Amino acid sequence: MKLRKSTEQDIPEIMNIIKEAQNYFKENHINQWQNNYPNIQTVLTDIKDGYGYVLLEDDIIIATVSISFDGEKNYEKIMDGNWLSFEDYVVLHRLAVKNDCKGKGISSILLNMIEKICIEKDIHSIKIDTHEQNISMQRLLDKNGFQYCGVIFVADQSPRVAYEKILTL
């Protein structure tokens, strides 16, 4: 498997994966990624900002994620808890795996690859948030050593549960 920065040519496949995730959330009554978010403009902005990544298996895109080394304004205030660290960190957004690849540990493989990138850049913290009803993402984070830290609020002021993982060499 190979993790690389996404390009504009990847947008159709990234959007297919995002639409699959949006449908999953809708079918499971999870109010995350609804109301036309994320959309093509979101993905294009990730690409232009250098945050967009895709995971490939045999040259086929099987997952997508946004990886930012620039911090997250919404993480400046955390309620009902505290971050584990206040050092530089990576923030992950919009992690999604193609439906026919789910259940194969792809998300854990992807997180492991991201950890290696962080260590290479001497960044020892990964922060991420998810909807309180997105139990599958919370299980993934727990399984991969992330710790629940509290609640943050996204741009529309809806709450998200926040996690952090401290990376060691």
Domain count within the chain = 1
pLDDT in tens, 17-35: 999 999 999 999 998 898 8
Q: Is the pLDDT of residue 169 over 80?
A: no
Q: What is the DSSP string of 67-86?
A: EESS--GGGSS-BSS--S--
pLDDT in tens, 65-85: 999 999 999 999 999 999 999
To the nearest whole percent, how much of the chain has pLDDT over 70?
99
> What is the structure's pLDDT at 69?
96
> What is the structure's pLDDT at 35?
83
Treating both helix axes as pointing N-terminal to C-terminal, what angle do 106-120 and 135-143 enclose, rounded to 10 degrees? 50
- Sequence length of the chain is 169
What CATH number is given to the structural domain containing 130?
3.40.630.30
pLDDT in tens, 86-131: 999 999 999 999 999 999 999 999 999 999 999 999 999 999 999 9
Please state the rounded mean pLDDT for residues 52-72. 97
* pLDDT, the chain, mean: 96
pLDDT band at residue 1 using 50, 70 and 90 as cut-offs: very high
Q: What is the DSSP string of 100-138?
A: GGTTSSHHHHHHHHHHHHHHHTT--EEEEEE-TT-HHHH
To the nearest whole percent, how much of the chain has pLDDT over 90?
93
> What is the structure's pLDDT at 73?
95
> What is the structure's pLDDT at 36?
85
Contact between 33 and 25 under an 8 Å Cβ cutoff? The reply is yes
Domain residues for 150? 2-166
Q: Is the pLDDT of residue 3 over 90?
A: yes
